[in-house]
A and B are shown apart, each in its own frame.
Chain A
Amino acid sequence: MSIMFGRTVTTAEQLLSMYEPGRPTELVRGVLRRLSPAGYRHGAVIGRLAGRIGPYARERNLGETFGAETGFILARNPDTVRAPDVAFVQQNRLPSEFSSGYFPGPPDLAVEVTSPTDTYTEVHQKALSWLEHGTRLVWVIDPVARHATVYRGRDDMTVLGADEELTGGDVLPGFTVALRDLFPAGS
């Protein structure tokens, strides 16, 4: 999923200015990580989930939903900027005016959709990194195994099967989606 490239310490601002279309990049403690574009099954799951969360949150004025590649500044000096596959920030944490920079803080919900080559170490590291920086709910969705892991804290993780529902809890009150509805037919 990621390859470190040979630069030393970089900041969120430098990362923003070096944006290369089609080459999503993250910054972890000042070190650049380039992510490969994802496969289309992965992308379809993201599309389906964002398509559910977005309208649900908008209609109820709960907050803003962010698509893949949106950067969130999790730490400064050294800087960490990560981009989940889908993110949601509650209304009361949104700035009154949106800027073109990265979001200054963690999302309230971060969703990661795994690719078949993602390693166990990497996926857990990323989920933990969201939690440690203040994200309250993390969903890791595995379209191959057709299950999802819900992280509310290091001591509070649950695995859901395809017949179960993801629920928004106090981050996205009332939101539910059957996991199976996120997986395209034939996948």
Chain B
Amino acid sequence: MSHPDPCQLECYLDDELSDPIRETVRRHVEQCPPCLERLEALRKVSLALHRTLPTEQMFLSEGEFWLHLARNLPAGRPRTWPLVPFLPPLLLAMAGTLIQAMILTTLLGFELAGLGLMPSLGPTVSSELSSLVSHRGLQQWLHASLGWSSEQVAQRTIHYWDELNWPNQNVVIFVTVLLTLAVFMSVIVTFYSFWAMCWSGSARPNRQKEVWDHGIRSYR
């Protein structure tokens, strides 16, 4: 066997080699005075270091150490709520993504409409608007709160809607869909965050503190 490299020799000294390699190195070192000398030099370093190991007498006794520590332990441990550290970047990322999506959709609506690659969605909405505002619950609400009939609302809305040119109608539709999705996403994220902070495994220490305290004290 050729001479083991310095790292291999140190691994041998630290007992970090696999059995066959350790045996090979051992046999080599026994027969190779230079390697034996290197190994002895490493052992001397190790022994010298062990001489600097601290003794118990250099420190406070176990009891004194604990007394000192117990005095300094904070009475109310800061509670760590899972997800809280991640919420600001998460919300920022969500808001950023939403703004980007709105800008892109607006540009896309204009561009595709200008190129004639997208049909106008306005007439479809106009035809559905009458049936939408004639929904019974909405009719009753409009009448009760504003004193308007659904026909008036439908006429006025369709009037404003038709005044928009059709690329703008497309943009309004896209942005409305996006905002609806964003609201939906926010509801999901809110529920998830609430679950993570209150019911997940990570939140258990905060949730069951008293129960666990009692349980452990009883077995001690």
Same assembly: no
Interface of B toward A, CB cutoff 8 Å: none
Interface of A toward B, CB cutoff 8 Å: none
